[in-house]
Structures are given as C-alpha cells and as structure tokens.
Amino acid sequence: MTAGRLPLWRLIGGLAVLGTLAALLILASLVYLDDYRLNRYMRSLAEQPGLSDAALSESILARAKQLGLNVHPYDIEVTRTAKKPRIRIAKFTVQTRLVRLDLRLPAADSQ
C-alpha cells in the first residue's frame, strides 16, 4: 500500500457513517422544527383572552396532530394565574424508524 492513499473499504465506511449522521440530523431537525411551531402556537393561544381550559387543550391537540406530534390529552396541563393561562405539555415521544426522541416543551405563558 502506498502512503497517502486511502483504502476503498475505509472510504465507504466513512461515507456510510457520515450519511447516517446526516440522516439523523435532518430527521431530528424536522421534529424539533415542528416542536418549535407547536410552542409558538401555544404562546399565541395563551395570549388570547377568554378561551377556556378545554378549548385551549383541544386547540393544542388539533395543532399537534396536524404537525404529526404524538401529544395526548393527559400530556397537556393548563393552569391560570390572575386569569392568565399557563400551558404546559409534559414530555412526549416521537418515534421514527431510525430514532426515538423525547421532547419537552417549555411552558407557554401569556405576557
């Protein structure tokens, strides 16, 4: 073997590892982008006056379903402080063929 020349099997192995990492990065970024969209939606709902806790929960569940996120009714917690809603979603899991992601959203407060 000559110096400076990479064996073919190492090149193929390295490209396979890099390809797998790139696929996982793309998959995770898509899920976290949907997570971010749901968080923005929760914050916009928290700022709307007059919505009941049930209406908030139903709206969040519908949006999560639209985004393809696995959120259940028991994951959503709505509390009120001085008539302002605080929405919190407990950890939820997104399972794909390649990876399982456990996501936690920060609580959405009305400002």
5 vs 16, more confident: 16
The residue to which tokens 């969040």 are assigned: 60
- What secondary structure does DSSP assign to 38-52, as a single string? HHHHHHHHHHSTT--
Contact 105, 89 (CB under 8 A): yes
pTM exceeds cut of 0.75: no
CB 103 within 8 A of CB 31: yes
C-alpha to C-alpha distance for 73 and 16, rounded to whole angstroms? 40
Partnered with residue 95 across adjacent β-strands are 100
pLDDT digits (tens, 9 = 90+) for 9-33: 999 999 999 999 998 888 888 888 8
Statement: residue 85 has pLDDT above 50: yes
pLDDT tens digits along 26-75: 888 888 888 889 889 988 888 887 888 889 899 999 998 998 888 888 88
Q: What is the pLDDT of residue 19?
A: 95
Task: Say which residue, 91 or 62, is predicted with more confidence.
Answer: 62
